[in-house]
Amino acid sequence: MLKLGIPKGSLENATIELFKKSGWKISVSSRSYFPMVDDEEIRCTLARAQEMSRFVEMGRLDAGLTGKDWVLENGSDIVVVQDLVYSKTSASPARWVLVVTEDSPIRRLEDLKGKKIFTELVNFTRKYFAKRKINVDVEFSWGATEGKVIEGLADAIVEVTETGSTLRANGLRIVEELMQTNTQLIANHEAYRDPWKKEKIEQISLLLQGALRAEGMVGLKMNVPANDLKSVMEILPSITAPTIANLFQSDWFSVETIISEKIVRELIPQLLKRGAVGIIEYPLNKVI
Amino acid sequence: MLKLGIPKGSLENATIELFKKSGWKISVSSRSYFPMVDDEEIRCTLARAQEMSRFVEMGRLDAGLTGKDWVLENGSDIVVVQDLVYSKTSASPARWVLVVTEDSPIRRLEDLKGKKIFTELVNFTRKYFAKRKINVDVEFSWGATEGKVIEGLADAIVEVTETGSTLRANGLRIVEELMQTNTQLIANHEAYRDPWKKEKIEQISLLLQGALRAEGMVGLKMNVPANDLKSVMEILPSITAPTIANLFQSDWFSVETIISEKIVRELIPQLLKRGAVGIIEYPLNKVI
Amino acid sequence: MLKLGIPKGSLENATIELFKKSGWKISVSSRSYFPMVDDEEIRCTLARAQEMSRFVEMGRLDAGLTGKDWVLENGSDIVVVQDLVYSKTSASPARWVLVVTEDSPIRRLEDLKGKKIFTELVNFTRKYFAKRKINVDVEFSWGATEGKVIEGLADAIVEVTETGSTLRANGLRIVEELMQTNTQLIANHEAYRDPWKKEKIEQISLLLQGALRAEGMVGLKMNVPANDLKSVMEILPSITAPTIANLFQSDWFSVETIISEKIVRELIPQLLKRGAVGIIEYPLNKVI
Amino acid sequence: MLKLGIPKGSLENATIELFKKSGWKISVSSRSYFPMVDDEEIRCTLARAQEMSRFVEMGRLDAGLTGKDWVLENGSDIVVVQDLVYSKTSASPARWVLVVTEDSPIRRLEDLKGKKIFTELVNFTRKYFAKRKINVDVEFSWGATEGKVIEGLADAIVEVTETGSTLRANGLRIVEELMQTNTQLIANHEAYRDPWKKEKIEQISLLLQGALRAEGMVGLKMNVPANDLKSVMEILPSITAPTIANLFQSDWFSVETIISEKIVRELIPQLLKRGAVGIIEYPLNKVI
Amino acid sequence: MLKLGIPKGSLENATIELFKKSGWKISVSSRSYFPMVDDEEIRCTLARAQEMSRFVEMGRLDAGLTGKDWVLENGSDIVVVQDLVYSKTSASPARWVLVVTEDSPIRRLEDLKGKKIFTELVNFTRKYFAKRKINVDVEFSWGATEGKVIEGLADAIVEVTETGSTLRANGLRIVEELMQTNTQLIANHEAYRDPWKKEKIEQISLLLQGALRAEGMVGLKMNVPANDLKSVMEILPSITAPTIANLFQSDWFSVETIISEKIVRELIPQLLKRGAVGIIEYPLNKVI
Amino acid sequence: MLKLGIPKGSLENATIELFKKSGWKISVSSRSYFPMVDDEEIRCTLARAQEMSRFVEMGRLDAGLTGKDWVLENGSDIVVVQDLVYSKTSASPARWVLVVTEDSPIRRLEDLKGKKIFTELVNFTRKYFAKRKINVDVEFSWGATEGKVIEGLADAIVEVTETGSTLRANGLRIVEELMQTNTQLIANHEAYRDPWKKEKIEQISLLLQGALRAEGMVGLKMNVPANDLKSVMEILPSITAPTIANLFQSDWFSVETIISEKIVRELIPQLLKRGAVGIIEYPLNKVI
């Protein structure tokens, strides 16, 4: 049986949703610490993203999903099986940034010499400054980190943000980006040497990727007269070859392809111009 | 860059959902007044439906979505690019109606002569009565309008409703319907003369319509033996020609078509009787 | 017009969702006892699952959805049109079980002789013990039944559960399963003899089943080179014959089939090995 | 130790609040079925008001608080120690009433002959009609009773109400009041014969009454010149003799009394006219 | 009967609480527009603070509570019976202020010439600028006013604030305070000439003031040895003469007085130094 | 000005409530990090209890309220001005306990040799075991500590509890109590040497204690006939001498005293037996 760690808290719902699209139903009960999963070969455990890599490293879990940031913070010696770019809300990557108040005299990293920095990411931050030979005082912050620099209790903070708009709205300024992070599927070294566990982890990895890719892809289907087929095919992206079939007793073709959802809004006006009609777009669960 | 107004409040979620189906991800943060959108050519701004047409008219916004009712109320000189029939809850069109209590002696518009009407739609209501040469006293109401006529503070109100069932439940009676309303995509005259902006607005219009149309449509696919093909085709609605293909090494056909979701429940029992098997229905994102 | 009962409470949302997938939009207003439905031939009424079969039996409703458990409890003389296996949360069937505390001396049904049992299912439980000639005192419980055996107010309870995990978490033990239950579409005998009503009820039954079946099924589409077609077809489940078509000007085939969602996660790795590429999975609304 | 039942649900918070004013802190945890109480001689158990008298009668509880209505419905043979008039919201007594729709032809009890009545109070209602020799069909209703008569599923219902305003708002009419009810402290016969238990129950009864009485009473204190003392004393209610003391080195008196809060708003303007000054009102916890 | 208007919305709970302390229980039901009050001589009606003075002026209400700001905005000709200083949250008076963004070039009122101001208080604002002969464009704002100036849709806004901290937190700057406001008990001129109505309104006014005054006052009681009595009396504020009594069979005195709660925290340390012991403070409901 | 730290989170409301009873109104806005307080000599700052002593030690705050546990954990060199026993819910003192699962073989501290302990109180726990020369591996836990031992991720945890009932409900067992904790008012050494700041801190301390003591105390007043006075006085607790006064023109006495609320429920039945009548109990704000 594979002991798999599911991140608790802010990533929890997004992760469970992703597994659902991938083919596993995980259900979390408020009364149990072990989420149920409809696969007898997997045993799920909820753990905080901050702690996941430690549990995987020490072998209490065979594999788990967590953030690259916390893998680095913990300095865990584990296998990174797959980067999985998804997050709770936006499409922007999460970034750890060094932040001060708008009116702070601190403009560059060097200005922090001798100053007090609060962050949840203490080890990473210390290493970051040590490498640059800047002597700073990094203190661990128990959440609500932003407040500390606003109140003047800290000179700077290192905090995670996606777009930075909340920081700006609170009158804060980003001095430097320290790291971009994303979710990772990680595994314990020993577990990953076990052939059965490795295959199971890779099955999960394959289907999670298939579901993630489907999030950005759609199916597009249209009818095209024979004369316009070439012109239409020219602008259809060719990730995989489109499926083409004759319409019953006519010289029209049915054309069907899988494309990135992002370009649909640009593509459709052009397809219309080139003679395609009856264009429909349909959703996908997985693209492998 | 196109400055686009998104209606805040009751239409907000439905609008964002519609844009998502159309191909744009808009995300609203509780800490920022500017929703993010994944299109560098658009800058979204939240504005109340009541005020949208004023901002579009004065050019602070190039285009926006709002209700026809508020365009008329504001008397704004703007371009109506497209009517978009969707609402927060039901499929019934929203109507502004003149409402009195069940036991009121007011039966016809003429009975309102000299009476006090409260409404959020003051200008429209005044014009409506002026055109009919009925002298009434129309006062602006700060929401909770129903309460005023129930409490006897107003003789009548002009209020918006979809099905009228809430009004009836509160012991109120509709005297007359003054206007039907729906959402509209509107644009500033000057912006709409700019070719780039016009094309951008029309792209949005095209895809919003495609997504709206898809809401009422589904894909239907079935297998039909050669002998029954003609009989099945007779009852298949022909919005666009169905796609027909031979099944591999057999004399069966695969038939696929796009139809209104509303008729599926009537159509399926008939298709079964005429020999179709393996009928499946699948969802659509867009129908252009 | 068909008078149809919709179960109120825990099954309400799941039922309305199922009808939506089946092609009927039912909307419940907090201000009206009659849900609206977009079918002029149906008049919906909300009623508790516990009471539904009584109203159907006495003819105040023509048909309704309720649990098999409450049909048996009420001993109602009605037509069971169709078993519909769905529930509010899980895929496990709901079971009525006899439950005691973990440290209770009661191990078998016989140990209950002379004991006090609390349950909402009084008649069924009494008959169950009477048939086994065990003399017990069955009392009606007003909800919160679990609490009574934990507090020592009851010696045992008969309660409904899906997975039993909540019972275990509360330190309770299942002694015996008395019945499995599921949702049923039931009809009044007289109404079911009326040809028009019967056809309407069967239309509903057909489409509810189609929507339910679709919940566990997905469409799978892939491209396969001619050489690998046989090998791929060998492992594709054959519920209905797959649709196969030539790709335009190539010796590749497009293969499309409907399969159970449960096996997708096992099937995809094998399909890849056998030469399929561009595998996509898409959702279904109905499978008839 | 005294086994005391606390009513769960709608009366729960009001009861716990009353015990707090009486001198006992009861705290209910969502994780335990046994509320904690800061008195080692009492063990609290939560039970539904509907079932309380059955548990007290069979001796699983020594005493409990419940409604007079449910004592009568269950026909329980217990000791009524004390009537306690308090409720969840209003000061009006709760009444069980027979209710029909406004337009129902039913005007008097006799009109119900052969009709279907739904109620949660089945036994009481059956006896009520049997005593009046009116043959009706009384069925048990699983909550949401009002809905049944509105929907036409029942001809009449017997339901509890305080002011009747909700019934009227739903278009219902009261035909007759069947019973007034209030909370009661009840005891098991055997427990009440045990001298220690009896004294404990009476201590609880005494202090609950003291706290209830205080809810309607306030302390009133004022300064009065010697000349006006008689005039002021004439209008001061004399539940208990007021406390009067000389003010230090003056011919003024301090007058203090306990009066019903209801008359304060009428009394104060009069006291001012008769010469009292520096009037203050202060709250009370208990009045014995 | 006196028709009394209770302000709906942000002041609603504070007003009902104040009436409760004054001796009237008002209860608002979500199903009725008429709050119930336990005084047969009063009929309460909920109305928005913005509209109250209009209803009082036109005689649909005899009296009501509302804000001075809305009385001025509406220019209503009514009797101001009493200023009542209370608010939903803080002790700071509410102020209407002219607000711009921090980086706006607008520093003085004069800088607004030709600019666009949005506010809910249109009339008052227009008069304010007209009196100063500054030509501005004042537009009505439908709530969320702050957002407009942040988004750049307005050049300035006139908004209400208590402490200004929210404005600062959103990066806004106050240019000028236009008005301070507070709650007022107002009456219709004609109603106030009716002797019975006038007396009733004044009874309400007297008791509301008594309850408001009590909010800032407490009772203080202490024991003082004969020798220290003079010294203690010197620092006791003398709103009303303190009540002094001999302790039983001793040369100690009991001293009791009513003082402002605000000075208690300063007074107690001094009383201890001057020999007072057993100091207690108790709450008051009313101080007349 | 005194910079005072208020604990954020679980103690926040209880602390603000306590300050209110003590005479200071603190109001927290969701938009500002600085709570307002109605004392110009104090500037409040919200800080987490875990971090408070660090900010006080480094002088960013002059004084603050926090838990003794976190003072010890941080090893902060500060002045403990006053222990203040209050908590968010119960009257039981909070305890940090070493906890294992019920079926764990760990029975004594010694059994933990070489095991993994998770806790939020890392430093304290390490010192505790070091002093007993037991070699354990203590790791920092990010909240949800209980889950780790239940999931088997930790061998034991050190967690805070009041009654232990939640632990038991989750199937956990307490091995040893490591520390009892309570709230403390702490001060910075240098600030405490400043005479003005010291006096201000002590004023706060005095009034917080006065308010806390009042929570468990009530005023009791009764009328007693001269003959029974001695008998009544015998059982009245004598914290401070009761106040006794003659009732006007009678041989009855008014007796008033301050007693612990806990004994009222026992005392009142006895006072009645000894002849006291008209007993009232009233609440207190402060007892100094």
Q: What confidence tens digit (pLDDT) does each residue in B22-40 have? A: 989 998 876 566 789 989 9
* In chain F, alpha helices (H): 12-22, 49-57, 68-74, 122-131, 145-150, 165-169, 189-193, 195-215, 229-235, 261-273
Q: What are the angstrom distances between the C-alpha of A113 and each of A106, A116, B97, C212, E274?
A: 10, 9, 69, 65, 55
Give tens-digit pLDDT for A58-93: 888 999 999 999 999 999 999 999 999 876 555 568
How far C114 CA lies from chain D's nearest CA (Å)?
Answer: 14
Give tens-digit pLDDT for E59-84: 889 999 999 999 999 999 999 999 99
Residue F104: the pLDDT is 96
Residue F88: the pLDDT is 52
pLDDT at D249 over 90: no
Residue E136 in contact with residue E129, Cβ under 8 Å?
A: yes
pLDDT at A172 over 80: yes
Give tens-digit pLDDT for E45-60: 888 898 899 889 988 8
Q: Residue B58's closest chain E neighbor by CA?
A: E153
A168 versus F158: the higher-pLDDT residue is: F158
Show residues of chain B in contact with A245, CB under 8 Å.
243, 245
Average pLDDT along chain D: 90
Nearest of F10, F11, F43, F9 to residue F26 by alpha carbon: F43
pTM of the model: 0.75
Give tens-digit pLDDT for E259-286: 988 899 999 999 999 999 889 999 999 8
Nearest of E100, E101, E93, E148 to residue E120 by alpha carbon: E148
Show residues of chain A in contact with B37, CB under 8 Å.
none
pLDDT at D163 over 80: yes
Residue F237: the pLDDT is 82
Q: For F25, how many CA atoms within 13 A lie in the half-sphere containing its CB?
A: 11
Percent of chain E residues past pLDDT 70, beyond the cut? 95
pLDDT at C238 over 70: no
Rounded to whole angstroms, the Cα distance separating F53 from F72 reads 9
- Taking residues F191-220, report their average pLDDT: 93
Show residues of chain D in contact with F283, CB under 8 Å.
283, 285
Q: For E260, how many CA atoms within 13 A lie in the half-sphere containing its CB?
A: 7
* In chain D, alpha helices (H): 12-22, 49-57, 68-74, 122-131, 145-150, 165-169, 189-193, 195-215, 229-235, 261-273
Burial class (CB in 10 A: 0-12, 13-18, 19+), A64: buried
pLDDT at F154 over 90: no
Residue F166: the pLDDT is 84
Residue F89: the pLDDT is 53
Q: Residue B38 has which token pair?
A: 């994944």
Q: Residue A220 has which token pair?
A: 């597009």
Q: The sheet that has E116-119: what strands, in order across it? A: E137-140, E116-119, E156-161, E94-101, E172-181
How far A76 CA lies from chain F's nearest CA (Å)?
Answer: 15
DSSP output for B191-210: HHHSHHHHHHHHHHHHHHHH
Q: How confident is the model at residue D29 (pLDDT cuts 50, 70, 90)?
A: confident
How far F60 CA lies from chain E's nearest CA (Å)?
Answer: 22
Lowest mean pLDDT, pick from A39-48, E245-254, F203-212, F239-248:
F239-248
User: Would you call F272 and D288 a contact, using CB atoms and an 8 Å cutoff?
Assistant: yes
Beta bridge partners of D187: D63, D79
Residue D238: the pLDDT is 63
Nearest of B63, B90, B80, B87 to residue B15 by alpha carbon: B87
Give tens-digit pLDDT for B128-143: 999 999 999 998 887 7
Rounded to whole angstroms, the Cα distance separating B227 from B231 reads 8
Chains with 3 or more CB pairs closer than 8 angstroms to F?
Answer: A, D, E
E175 touches D at CB < 8 Å: no
Nearest of C226, C286, C217, C288 to residue C251 by alpha carbon: C226
C195: Cβ contacts below 8 Å, ≥ 6 apart:
none
- Residue D60 gets which letter from DSSP? S
SS (H, E, C) F72-118: HHHCCCCEEEEEECCCCCCCCCEEEEEEEECCCCCCCHHHHCCCEEE
Residue B123: the pLDDT is 95
F178: Cβ contacts below 8 Å, ≥ 6 apart:
F95, F96, F97, F98, F124, F125, F128, F158
F192 versus A258: the higher-pLDDT residue is: F192
- Residue F275 gets which letter from DSSP? T
How far A274 CA lies from chain B's nearest CA (Å)?
Answer: 14
pLDDT at C108 over 80: yes
pLDDT at F42 over 90: yes
Q: Please count the residue pairs, one from chain D and one from chain E, whose beta carbons lie less than 8 angstroms apart.
A: 82
Average pLDDT along chain A: 89
CA dihedral (D32, D34, D36, D40) positive or negative: negative
D246, D252, D272 member nearest E288 (Cβ) = D272
E170 touches B at CB < 8 Å: no
Residue B67: the pLDDT is 94
pLDDT at D252 over 90: no
Percent of chain C residues past pLDDT 70, beyond the cut? 95
Q: For E9, how many CA atoms within 13 A lie in the half-sphere containing its CB?
A: 13
Q: Residue A24 has which token pair?
A: 């596993």
Residue B88: the pLDDT is 52
Show residues of chain B in contact with A248, CB under 8 Å.
241-244, 253
Give tens-digit pLDDT for A4-47: 999 987 789 889 999 998 999 998 876 566 789 999 999 998 88
Q: Please count the residue pairs, one from chain E and one from chain F, whose beta carbons lie less than 8 angstroms apart.
A: 87
Q: Work out the number of other CB atoms within 10 angstroms of the CB of residue F90.
A: 15
Average pLDDT along chain C: 90
SS (H, E, C) chain A: CEEEEEEECCCHHHHHHHHHHHCCCEECCCCCCCCEECCCCEEEEEEEHHHHHHHHHCCCCCEEEEEHHHHHHHCCCCEEEEEECCCCCCCCCEEEEEEEECCCCCCCHHHHCCCEEEECCHHHHHHHHHHCCCCCEEEECCCCHHHHHHCCCCCEEEEEECCCHHHHHCCEEEEEEEEEECEEEEECHHHHHCHHHHHHHHHHHHHHHHHHHHHCEEEEEEEEEHHHHHHHHHHCCCCCCCEEEECCCCCEEEEEEEEEHHHHHHHHHHHHHCCCEEEEEEECCEEC
Rounded to whole angstroms, the Cα distance separating A114 from A131 reads 16
* In chain C, alpha helices (H): 12-22, 49-57, 68-74, 122-131, 145-150, 165-169, 189-193, 195-215, 229-235, 261-273
Nearest of F69, F62, F64 to residue F15 by alpha carbon: F64
Packing angle of the helix pair D195-215, D12-22 (nearest 10 deg): 100
Residue D5 in contact with residue D63, Cβ under 8 Å?
A: yes
- Residue C93 gets which letter from DSSP? P
- Taking residues F163-169, report their average pLDDT: 86
pLDDT at C162 over 90: no
User: Would you call E8 and B45 a contact, using CB atoms and an 8 Å cutoff?
Assistant: no
Would you say how long chain F is, in residues? 288
Average pLDDT along chain B: 90
pLDDT at F114 over 70: yes
Q: How confident is the model at residue D31 (pLDDT cuts 50, 70, 90)?
A: low
pLDDT at D287 over 70: yes
Torsion of CA B197, B201, B202, B206, to 10 degrees: 150
Cα E255–E257–E262 angle (5° rounding)?
130
Give tens-digit pLDDT for A102-149: 999 999 999 999 998 999 999 999 999 999 999 999 988 877 788 788
Contacts by residues C47-50 (CB-CB < 8 Å, ≥ 24 positions apart): C47/C5, C47/C6, C47/C7, C47/C8, C47/D148, C47/D151, C47/D153, C48/C7, C48/C8, C48/C9, C48/D142, C48/D143, C48/D144, C49/C7, C49/C8, C49/C9, C49/C10, C49/C11, C50/C74, C50/C120, C50/D142
Chains with 3 or more CB pairs closer than 8 angstroms to A?
Answer: B, C, E, F
Give tens-digit pLDDT for C109-152: 999 999 999 999 999 999 999 999 999 999 999 888 988 998 88
- Taking residues C186-199, report their average pLDDT: 97
Per DSSP, the three-state class of F122 is helix
Chains with 3 or more CB pairs closer than 8 angstroms to B?
Answer: A, C, E
B45 touches E at CB < 8 Å: yes
Q: Residue E7 has which token pair?
A: 């302000």
User: Would you call D142 and C50 a contact, using CB atoms and an 8 Å cutoff?
Assistant: yes
Lowest mean pLDDT, pick from B245-249, D210-214, E152-156, F150-154:
B245-249
Helix (H) or strand (E) holding F173: strand F172-181
Nearest of F288, F287, F284, F279 to residue F256 by alpha carbon: F279
Residue C253 in contact with residue C247, Cβ under 8 Å?
A: yes
| ipTM of the complex, rounded to two decimals | 0.80
Rounded to whole angstroms, the Cα distance separating F190 from F77 reads 11
Q: β-strands D156-161, F172-181: how paired?
A: unpaired
- Taking residues A156-184, report their average pLDDT: 92
* In D58-119, alpha helices (H): 68-74
A171 touches E at CB < 8 Å: yes
Show residues of chain D in contact with E243, CB under 8 Å.
223, 245, 247-248, 254
pLDDT at E37 over 70: yes
Average pLDDT along chain E: 89
E38 touches D at CB < 8 Å: yes
Q: Residue E204's closest chain D neighbor by CA?
A: D265
Percent of chain D residues past pLDDT 70, beyond the cut? 95
pLDDT at D135 over 70: yes
Residue B89: the pLDDT is 53
Give tens-digit pLDDT for B179-207: 999 999 999 999 999 999 999 999 999 99
Q: Which of E142, E149, E157, E166 would you mutate first to test chain B, the one with the most B CBs within 10 A?
A: E142
Q: What are the angstrom distances between the C-alpha of C219 and each of B280, C237, C260, E40, E208?
A: 9, 12, 9, 70, 71
pLDDT at D91 over 70: no
Scan for tokens 């073709």, then name that residue.
A253
- Taking residues A223-247, report their average pLDDT: 84
- Taking residues A254-269, report their average pLDDT: 89
Residue B57 in contact with residue B76, Cβ under 8 Å?
A: yes
Q: How confident is the model at residue C88 (pLDDT cuts 50, 70, 90)?
A: low
Q: For chains F and B, tell me whether 3 or more CB atom pairs sit within 8 A of each other.
A: no
User: Would you call A33 and F151 a contact, using CB atoms and an 8 Å cutoff?
Assistant: yes
